[in-house]
Amino acid sequence: MPMRRFSFPLVVHLSTLFGLLTIVTVVALTWLGYQRMVDLAEANGKELAEQSAAEVSQAVDIVFAPVELVTAMIGEHQVNEETTLEGRFRHFPLFRRALDFRSPVDAYFIGYSNGDFFMVRRMRSEGHRRLLGVGEEVHYVIQSIDREGGEARGLILHLDAQGAVLRQMAQPDYPHSFDPRTRPWYLKALETAGVARTDPYVFNTTGALGLTFAQRSSRAGAVVGADISLASLSEVMRRQKPTTSSHVVLVDPSGRVIAADNATALTALGPGGEPTVIGVDAYPAQAVRVFNRMERAEDGLVRYDAGGASYLGFRKPVSLRNGDMLSLIITIPERELLAAARSALRENLLLAAVVFIAALAATLLAAWSISRSLAHLTRAANRFREFDYATPITETSRVAEVSALADSFRSLQDTLNRYDTLLHLIARERDLTSLQPTILGELSAVLGVEKAVLYVVPQQADGLVVAAHKDGAHIRLTEARPDAIDPVPALVTETLATGERQVAEGRIAAEETRLPGLAEVAPPDAGFERALCYPLYDRRNQAIGAILFLDAEGAGDGARALVGALRGIAAVLLETRQLIVSEKHLFKAFIALIAGAIDAKSPYTGGHCARVPELTKMLAAAAVESVDGPFRDFTLSEDEWDAVHVAAWLHDCGKITSPDFVIDKATKLETIYDRIHEVRMRFEVLKRDAEIERLEAVLAGADPQAAAKLRDRRWAQLDDDFAFVAKCNEGGESMEDVQLARLKTIAERGWLRTLDDTLGIAHGERQRRTAQPVPGLPVWEPLLADRPHHIIPRPPREVLAADNPWGFKLQQPKHLYNRGELHNLSVRRGTLNPEERYKINDHIIQTIIMLSALPYPRHLRAVPELAGGHHERMDGKGYPRQLSRDDMSPVARMMAVADIFEALTAADRPYKKGKTLSDAIGIMARMARDGHIDPDIFALFLSAGIYRDYAARHMEPEQIDKVKIEDYLSPQAAE
């Protein structure tokens, strides 16, 4: 059959082509228009910023220039030569005209060279009146210091709108607390040619931000000043905001903010609680602070991010008439600047969508009109060539042949639907027990049979057992009996005896209805004239079961053929499921066998490998059942439970590699046997030498009694020294420095060896001695020694590289074993030296290596991680990979808790007594606080009562004492 190219209807071709062209065109035009609008918006933003800078510069000149002019004029006035308040008050109209002029000046004042002071303040607002405590009738306030005549007088005068004095109040302390000659504006004016200007500061009287203009008068050396409020500049800043959320800030050369669109943000409280001017780096708006710290050109828009939003920033210098330079900072949110462009983009996209839909509808209509004639020619052929059994077939026709064909397609659709349903149910079902009634129910539905029995061959017996039976809509499973068989009707026996896969039809006798399975679905003593039996064979042509359908008179040939086809698939999948279940059971039994062998290998582990899985599963089940707390979202699927089971049973499988002589090492010199016997014999030789020396001395003429006393003293010393060495060998007490020094002294004593110690030794020891010189005999040797052949090197294959594939992070001893006598006897605590202690701990390394090498199915891939983490600590100081809490799964952390609790409470260890519940939980509480175990899992262990349930099963009655878990679950206990 020639290969056909993919083809599509004409309607699809035309609509797709036209639609793509329309979309590309509209999107391109819309995007270009949007980009153009963005460019225009940014250009407009820059233009607005430059315009704002120009207006601010102009506003500054408008504010500052008149003040400088008036200050200079007052500096040339006669009032500077007046020496009394009365004389200065005569010139009040001059100050009134200056203050009534539209300017931000709050007050004009004169500081005289003799310390006199004269200031006229205009009450411009209710706020000023409240600050100075005056009523609405007061329009001007004069503050005066007059030091003429040797007595300093301080006065305050309240004046109405016409300048008439309303009241006069004395201020006796004012001349002493205020001297104009010490003020910054006075001093700066004396040093400046022309009008001087102070830095911005907060006015003490009004609390407003402002600055002072001052100029030295040419008359009498006085200094004229004016306090100008910067509030008007802030109002200019506010009017210059390009958008609602923009910021406009005016900064002086020292970085202080002298005006901004937010006038309330210009001051702050200093360390002493006094109001101060803020710097631009302390301005409340983050966008201004970020922009000010950026490295940028002095002019031009800069795009940047602040506070999670995008901004356009602009800095423009503002020059003053006296040559000083200010900086104007303007920040504009990009979303507001481009709001119009984005709105236009949305409108264009909506318009494009409308145009596209209208164009596509017109195209579809035109294409359908063209293709209609072609569709009439292909529709009939497509009905025969294509079928969809998931969609109901509603075709009807008055033509008999077409109607019959539609009925055939409907029948085929029903058959395929049932076929597909059965395949999906069987393929998806994981539980063999649930799979059996599924097969029985679906096949019975195909035949239209109400009563049926499913027989299967059990795994551990030869014969058949009833697995399920069906009576109408009710399908029931029977209890599994792996080692028993049920009697079956003759028809079933005959069907399987032929060894063929064909269906058998026959009669069920009345007495056979009393058999298991039939008795539950058939009336007693009522036989069936027509029954069908379908044998089930596996791929090795071995019978694995049979299905017996009762009262099958209505089953047609087509249904019987379909069941015959389906039962083959059902048999294969049933076999597969049985194999999976069998292998899973065998695998679990093999795991339990390994764990049991490890426990049986040494009396020091007891039932550890069997109890830890049980305790781990109890913890995991409690976590799954939690509805609140840290484990409220913790779940385990069936596959994950399998992984927990395997990991828990194999968590110590590496112990199979641990040498018995290390695990069971009871004394320091013990290997395969206790070498203390060799040491004892050396002491015996020394005692024999002492006896020989006594006899030789007597023969030489020495006093026999003196020689005997000398021998007795040497024997006593040897006895005491050996008793000390033997005590050290027991390892029951900690070794102190004094004891180690004595041991070393004893070791240095010599004894005479006259026999060759290389005779009769093992091949391995002989190889270790090849590099050592052989001394001549006899030879004096130390009583205790660490000899080179005592060192057993670590094989290269056991050396762990820093980048080992398992991620082990540990300090590995250089040697595999060190059997030096002095080395072992000098162990400070216990009987194990560092090499042997590493060998004991090596079981977890071997566990991880062994488990990592297994070819796991997908759902068991977590086994190495779960099993290999029970010696890790939550603070990352554990063994062997130094994992922290976040590196470990919850189940791995649960296994660590289970392992520790079992070890603490085990009562079958010959080397220790199992701890009581309270002692074990107290120890684990400290471990939880110290980062050894997970505190959340420990809390679950207590709150779920797991410790109590476990104790009832596995602990001795005398170990089970009262435990107040509230002492360990309270916040104070966690600390």
Per-residue pLDDT tens digits for 929-951: 999 999 999 999 999 999 899 98
Task: Place 367 in a pLDDT band, splitting at 50, 70 and 90.
Answer: low
- Of 338-347, 650-659, 816-825, the one with minimum mean pLDDT is 338-347
Classify 775 as helix, strand or coil.
Answer: coil
Nearest to 383 by CA among 410, 359, 357, 360: 410
Would you list the DSSP string of 586-642?
A: HHHHHHHHHHHHHHHH-TTTTTHHHHHHHHHHHHHHHHHH--SGGGTT----HHHHH
Confidence check: pLDDT of 698 > 90: yes
> So what's the pLDDT on residue 395?
63
Nearest to 923 by CA among 895, 900, 943: 900
> So what's the pLDDT on residue 377?
37
DSSP letter at 391 equals S
Confidence check: pLDDT of 291 > 90: no
User: Which of the given ranges, 94-108, 280-294, 715-729, 829-843, has the highest pLDDT on average?
Assistant: 715-729
> So what's the pLDDT on residue 272?
62
Which amino acid, 833?
Answer: N
- Paired with 670 in beta bridges are 674
Task: Place 432 in a pLDDT band, splitting at 50, 70 and 90.
Answer: low
Triad 673, 675, 678: Cα angle to 5°: 130
Q: Where are the beta strands (DSSP E) in 46-116?
A: 105-111
DSSP letter at 466 equals E
Per residue in 777-807, pLDDT (tens digit) is: 899 999 999 988 888 888 888 888 888 888 8
> So what's the pLDDT on residue 2?
47
User: Which of the given ranges, 125-134, 438-447, 788-797, has the highest pLDDT on average?
Assistant: 788-797
- Span 192-219, mean pLDDT? 78
Confidence check: pLDDT of 373 > 50: no
> So what's the pLDDT on residue 742?
94
For 239, the token pair is: 């009017």
Confidence check: pLDDT of 276 > 80: no
> So what's the pLDDT on residue 620?
92
538: number of Cβ within 10 Å: 17
- Span 302-314, mean pLDDT? 82
* Rg from Cα positions in the chain: 52
Per residue in 35-71, pLDDT (tens digit) is: 666 666 666 666 666 777 777 777 777 777 788 788 8
List C-alpha distances in Å: 36 to 30, 32, 42, 44, 345: 10, 6, 10, 12, 11
- Span 459-474, mean pLDDT? 81
DSSP letter at 482 equals T
Task: Place 520 in a pLDDT band, splitting at 50, 70 and 90.
Answer: confident
> So what's the pLDDT on residue 556?
74
Give the torsion sign (CA, 825, 828, 833, 834): negative
> So what's the pLDDT on residue 745?
93
Phi, psi of 792, rounded to the nearest 5 degrees? -110, 110
Mean pLDDT across the chain = 80
Task: Place 382 in a pLDDT band, splitting at 50, 70 and 90.
Answer: very low
> So what's the pLDDT on residue 219?
72
> So what's the pLDDT on residue 932?
92
For 542, the token pair is: 């071995």
Phi, psi of 469, rounded to the nearest 5 degrees? -145, 150
Would you give the distance in Å from CA 112 to the centre of its chain?
73
> So what's the pLDDT on residue 911?
63
Residue found under tokens 């601010």? 56
- Span 422-436, mean pLDDT? 64
Confidence check: pLDDT of 834 > 70: yes
Confidence check: pLDDT of 635 > 90: yes
Confidence check: pLDDT of 715 > 60: yes
Confidence check: pLDDT of 3 > 50: no
Q: Are 507 and 529 in contact (CB under 8 A)?
A: yes
Q: Are 595 and 604 in contact (CB under 8 A)?
A: no
Which amino acid, 270?
Answer: G
The model carries a pTM of 0.53
Residue bearing the bigger pLDDT, 799 or 346: 799
Q: In this prediction, what percent of the chain has a pLDDT beyond 70?
A: 80
Task: Place 712 in a pLDDT band, splitting at 50, 70 and 90.
Answer: very high
Which amino acid, 475?
Answer: I
> So what's the pLDDT on residue 384?
34
Task: Place 708 in a pLDDT band, splitting at 50, 70 and 90.
Answer: very high
d(CA 224, CA 80): 8
Phi, psi of 64, rounded to the nearest 5 degrees? -80, -35
Classify 808 as helix, strand or coil.
Answer: coil
Confidence check: pLDDT of 743 > 90: yes
> So what's the pLDDT on residue 380?
36
Per residue in 859-916, pLDDT (tens digit) is: 888 888 888 888 889 998 888 888 899 999 999 999 999 989 988 888 876 667 888 9
**What are the b/e assignments for 12-24, b being 16+ CB within 10 Å?**
eebbeebbeebee
Per residue in 575-612, pLDDT (tens digit) is: 776 677 677 777 777 777 776 776 666 666 667 878 88
Which amino acid, 488?
Answer: V
Q: What contacts 842, CB < 8 A, 6 or more positions away?
A: 654, 657, 658
Task: Place 420 in a pLDDT band, splitting at 50, 70 and 90.
Answer: low
> So what's the pLDDT on residue 933?
92
- Look at the chain and count its residues: 975
